[in-house]
């Protein structure tokens, strides 16, 4: 896939901000954090060899051209150290949402059979016991990077 100048400049700026080369990039949806409620933000997940970053982007639709926005967009960004992670695993999205909403303690792994009827999410579990949940479009590279 060929990148245009704008894309090259965007990633060069991200590398400059991170102070290290970006070695992983993917579109993602940050579903939320365990016990903290749902976010459901679409954006970019990217990583250096030490840290993983997520940032959302403003959504717009055809209606936005005709209607004034009620709320001003506020950019959401977050990051975490790879060394602070314990594991990364595939879980059912419905159990991830239940975990995010504080209804259950632990998300259920995604089985092959459930996968036919249920969407998957990726749980990144931390030393603290907290978890972040993502829908990832390119999970294999991140699983490899986290090495958990």
Q: What is the pTM of this model?
A: 0.84
Residue-wise pLDDT tens digits, 14-71: 999 999 999 999 999 999 999 998 788 999 999 999 999 999 987 765 555 566 656 6
Q: How confident is the model at residue 108 (pLDDT cuts 50, 70, 90)?
A: confident
Which among 68, 63, 115 is positioned nearest to 93, based on CA atoms? 115
Q: Which residue has the tokens 């936005």?
A: 64
| Residues contacting 113, CB < 8 A, separation 6+ | none
Judge whether 61 and 95 are in contact, CB under 8 Å.
no
Assess whether pLDDT exceeds 80 at residue 73.
no
| Residues contacting 21, CB < 8 A, separation 6+ | 15, 48, 49
Structural domains of the chain ordered from first start: 18-146 (2.30.29.30)
């Amino acid at each position: 896939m060929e990148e245009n100048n704008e894309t090259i400049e965007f990633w060069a700026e991200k590398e400059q901000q991170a102070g290290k080369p970006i070695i992983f990039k993917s579109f993602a949806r940050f579903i939320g954090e365990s016990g903290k409620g749902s976010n459901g933000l679409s954006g970019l997940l990217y990583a250096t060899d030490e840290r993983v970053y997520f940032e959302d982007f403003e959504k717009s639709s055809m209606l936005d051209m005709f209607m004034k926005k009620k709320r001003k967009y506020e950019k959401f960004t977050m990051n975490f150290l790879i060394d602070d992670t314990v594991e990364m695993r595939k879980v059912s999205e419905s159990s991830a949402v239940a975990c995010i909403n504080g209804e259950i303690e632990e998300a259920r792994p995604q089985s092959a059979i459930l996968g036919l009827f249920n969407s998957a999410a990726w749980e990144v579990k931390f030393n603290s016991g907290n978890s972040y949940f993502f829908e990832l479009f390119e999970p294999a590279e991140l699983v490899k990077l986290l090495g958990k």
